[in-house]
């Protein structure tokens, strides 16, 4: 098995449904379609130049992921950000990643470890170029390699779904350069812990790593209270 260090691009089917779904998802996660915004099968169908059927099927899929809410005979709306749901997504991710990084300390393929090292190098150069988009992708790739190295590919998929809700509350991924320094250092510590099979250190670092940015949500909530569920 090989481990791709580069950011991952999922094989989005060329069907109209998948295209509409992917585009809508982007717009929702980037807040281009803000929480609470009304969608319409007809309107989206016109915009994408397809019929209602693929649009409708996209809506259903988004609804299942909790990104939109379909109210029969009333309308479809971008879901308000549910603080409880976001916190639980973070909670779940923390537990799963903590367990996986422990696993990695017990048994981790050398190729995967090499992939982590390569990834760290790329992170360093991207930091110098201040390419935040690339950094975001590399961060994601780092964690993905961790899961794939432990044979937990499906678990990673589940986490990816949860990330949808996390990302939407993370101020559009805008992290300061200083933050990236900190994140990079944590990544390095984790890679070292895995190499030295120090499970406790690895788990501690991972939990700390994933607890950052909780305040982002509170900040977003204060700036845009109308984006959030249940006012208080």
Q: Is 68 in the site for a second copy (CB under 8 A)?
A: no
Site for DNA in 43-72 (CB under 7 A): 43, 50-54, 56-57, 59-60, 70-72
Of 61, 57, 88, the closest CA to residue 163 belongs to: 88
Looking at the chain, list the stretches that DSSP marks H as alpha helix, in order from N- to C-terminal side. Answer: 16-29, 41-48, 52-64, 83-106, 110-128, 132-149, 153-168, 177-195, 199-210, 214-223
Q: CA-CA distance, 167 to 170, in Å (whole number)?
A: 5
Q: Report which DSSP code applies to 32.
A: S
| Contact with a second copy (CB under 8 A) among 61, 182, 195, 221 | 61
* Interaction residues for DNA, span 73-112 (CB under 7 A): 73-76
64 counts as binding a second copy under rule CB under 8 A: yes
Which C-beta is closer to DNA: that of 16 or that of 85?
16
- Number of chain residues interacting with DNA (CB under 7 A): 24
Stretch (H or E) spanning 70 = strand 68-71
The yes or no reply on residue 41 touching DNA (CB under 7 A) is yes
Contacts of 228 (CB under 8 A, 6+ apart): 35, 80, 81, 82, 83, 221
Binding of residue 152 to a second copy (CB under 8 A)? yes
Binding of residue 92 to a second copy (CB under 8 A): yes
Binding site for a second copy (CB under 8 A): 13, 15, 57, 60-61, 64, 72, 84-85, 88-89, 91-92, 95-96, 98-99, 151-155, 158
């Amino acid at each position: 098995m090989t481990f791709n260090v580069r950011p991952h691009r999922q094989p989005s089917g060329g069907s109209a449904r998948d295209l509409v779904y992917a585009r809508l998802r982007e717009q929702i996660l980037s807040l281009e379609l803000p929480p609470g915004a009304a969608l319409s099968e007809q309107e989206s169908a016109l915009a994408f130049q397809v019929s209602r059927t693929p649009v409708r099927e996209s809506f259903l899929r988004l609804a299942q992921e909790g990104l939109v809410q379909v109210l029969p005979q009333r309308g479809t709306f971008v879901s308000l950000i549910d603080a409880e749901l976001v916190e639980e997504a973070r909670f779940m991710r923390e537990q799963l990643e903590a367990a996986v990084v422990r696993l990695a300390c017990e048994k981790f393929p050398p190729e995967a470890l090499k992939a982590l090292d390569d990834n760290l190098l790329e992170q360093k150069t991207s930091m110098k170029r201040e390419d935040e988009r690339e950094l975001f992708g590399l961060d994601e790739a780092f964690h993905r390699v961790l899961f794939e190295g432990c044979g937990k590919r499906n678990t990673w998929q589940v986490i990816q779904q949860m990330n949808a809700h996390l990302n939407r509350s993370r101020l559009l991924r805008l992290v300061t350069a200083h933050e990236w320094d900190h994140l990079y250092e944590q990544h390095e510590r984790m890679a070292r812990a895995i190499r030295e099979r120090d499970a406790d250190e690895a788990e501690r670092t991972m939990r700390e790593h994933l607890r950052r940015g909780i305040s982002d949500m509170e900040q977003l909530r204060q700036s845009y209270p109308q984006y959030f569920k249940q006012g208080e």
